[in-house]
Amino acid sequence: MTTLEQAREALRLRQGAGARDDAPEAPARDLMLARSGTAYFARKLNELSNEELYEPSAIEGWTRAHVICDIAYQARGISRQLEAVTAGQPAPVMHDSAEALAAEIDLGATLPPRAIRHLFDHAAIHLNVVWRDLPGPGWAVLAPGEDGRQRALSATPLERARHLWQRSLDLGNGARIRDLPEQFRPLAAHLE
């Protein structure tokens, strides 16, 4: 048993009967990367004052609020797919269109600070819950990714992790490339 598997088993024992857990078919290592990415992004977000949310990010034309909304709406898009599959329905697209997503991000970035922070928190928690509740066979179901191409739902945790770690850098408030898991560092090398 690996360290991650041992930690998961110890957690199951501590929680006791009746506690809900990821399906055995779930990609545990990728979920760990996504969950640690969520925690890291949340830490960088919490370091920002309310005023700093509306300052420019590392993405030209976007404030930090745009970056936060982008992360939140990605979580909502993945959650929508997972919920449909869990309910026995076909997985919908993550977003109606790139234009609709851009408009949603622009509108979301105008929310007051408390609402932006809650948007991130709620979307992240909700995604974690629907990942946990996805039945084992659901991880193999194909659904369209943000680029429109089909990918198995088992790819969503790594997709989410990559996006979270990248957007942590894009907040532009002290995240460092060396903070990223090694596998994501080459993606951010252009920022140095």
pLDDT tens sequence for the chain (192 residues): 677 677 766 766 675 655 567 888 889 999 999 999 999 999 999 999 999 999 999 999 999 999 999 999 999 999 999 999 999 999 999 999 999 999 999 999 999 999 999 999 999 999 999 999 999 999 999 999 998 899 999 999 999 999 999 999 999 998 888 888 888 887 665 554
Contact predicate 54/24, CB 8 Å: no
* Domain-located, residue 70: yes
* Domain-located, residue 151: no
Q: How many CB atoms sit inside 10 A of residue 49's CB?
A: 8
**Reported pTM:** 0.88
CATH of residue 105's domain is 1.20.120.450
How many structural domains does the chain have?
1
* Domain-located, residue 13: no
The DSSP secondary-structure symbol of 1 reads -
* Domain-located, residue 152: no
